[in-house]
Every structure is written in C-alpha cells, then in structure tokens.
Chain A
Amino acid sequence: AQSVAQPEDQVNVAEGNPLTVKCTYSVSGNPYLFWYVQYPNRGLQFLLKYITGDNLVKGSYGFEAEFNKSQTSFHLKKPSALVSDSALYFCAVRDNSNSGYALNFGKGTSLLVTP
C-alpha cells in the first residue's frame, strides 16, 4: 500500500519569509514523489518530482523539495514566499514496485501568504 500524509491543513507565512509545506510518505518499494499546486476552481499544476538521484529537487516558480529517505519525507520549500503563492498544495506518491500508474494524493495543505 502507498500513502502520503500532509500533517498541516493550513500554513501561514508572511511575504518574503521562507515557507515549508510538509509531506511524509509510506510505500513498499522506492517512492516516486510529486508536488502539485491548485488554485481556486482550477486543476492541478505540476511543480516538481523526485524519482532518483539528488535529494534536493528544484521545480517551477522557485519551489524546491528535499527527499529524506530516513524520515520518509518530501517537504516543499521556497526561500522567499510571494502573496501569489497562496493556494492549495498537494503531495503525491507512486510506489515503483507497483505496476499501476495511479498517484496517491495527500489531503492538501492550504498556504496563505500575507503581505
């Protein structure tokens, strides 16, 4: 079985400050990990993914994420938050030992960046 947990329903941060959105995962094999962002009444936009290699992954809009195998985490980070980053963020996992292609998503974390 594969699953992800996003322990925070909401994260508040002031504009210009660093932000972190947390994600932990559980898989049988090795994980493929993804972050997506969703703006109101919109579909999901791909931000970044970890497949293998360097634990620090850089993605769109200045976001990055760090894969930590020992802590089974894949936290999303940005050095300096923008008001326009306010949105719903989803972490997703796929187990590479599973022949299926479905992504398993967390419940989402609402990010609010205040001016």
Chain B
Amino acid sequence: DTGVSQNPRHKITKRGQNVTFRCDPISEHNRLYWYRQTLGQGPEFLTYFQNEAQLEKSRLLSDRFSAERPKGSFSTLEIQRTEQGDSAMYLCASSPRLAVSSTDTQYFGPGTRLTVL
C-alpha cells in the first residue's frame, strides 16, 4: 500500500496524559498536512510542512500541540495534557510538489481516532 499511513488508528487516553501520533506520507511527497475532524464537522486545518519546515499553523494549534517532521519524511503530532475537547479524528494528508504548487491535491490517510476519558 503506497498511500498515507497513520498510527495508531485508535487511541484512548485519560485526561492529562500526553499522546503522540505518527504519519507516514506518500513516498516523495514533500508537503504534509495535519487536520482535525470532530463528529458532524468537516476537517479543520491544523498545520502544514514543506519538507522539514513547518510553514503554516492554525490558531487551533494551541501551545499543548506540537508537530514535527524532522527529516522531511514522517511526521509526529503530540498533544500534551490532553483534554476531553481534544477527542477527535486526527487526519494527515500529503501532496507532491508540482510546478504550479497551489493546485496540489492532498491525499489523506485513514486517521487516528483519539478518545480522551
């Protein structure tokens, strides 16, 4: 399978714990995105990387959230001191670098469903 992969697929944690999710993009895609999707809503943008550089962050990305892409390949999203409001599906997407970069299609992974008790 050469699509975007995410691990774990499901995570249950207690409030106050830290969690980390991993995303492996499609090979040679240099752009990587994180979104959050809550029940009954569309995905909401969190952050974006081009190679290892984090170029864009949403105001949704509070100081408890941190994302990294250290070698420009896989990425991790960490949530510290989780709250019940963090319960959501966390989606990762990747896109290739094209000549007209703004037309990139984002390809999504299956997501990690986080439940905070």
Interface set of A (CB-CB < 8 Å, partner B): 32, 34, 36, 41-46, 49, 51, 90, 92, 94, 96, 100-108
Contact = CB atoms under 8 A, between A and B. Distances in A.
A105 B106 CA distance: 13
B42 A107 contact: yes
Given A105-B42, A105-B43, A105-B44, A43 B4 contact: yes
B108 A36 contact: yes
Contact of B91 (A44, A46, A92, A108): A44
Contacts of B93: 44
Interface residues of B, number: 29
Given A90-B43, A101-B56, A106-B42, A32 B111 contact: no
A46 B102 contact: no
Interface in B33-48: 33, 40-45, 48
Given A46-B105, A105-B44, 8 more contacts: A46-B107, A49-B105, A51-B103, A92-B42, A101-B31, A101-B48, A102-B45, A103-B106
A100 B105 contact: no
9 contacts: A42-B111, A45-B108, A46-B105, A46-B108, A49-B103, A94-B102, A101-B48, A105-B44, A107-B42
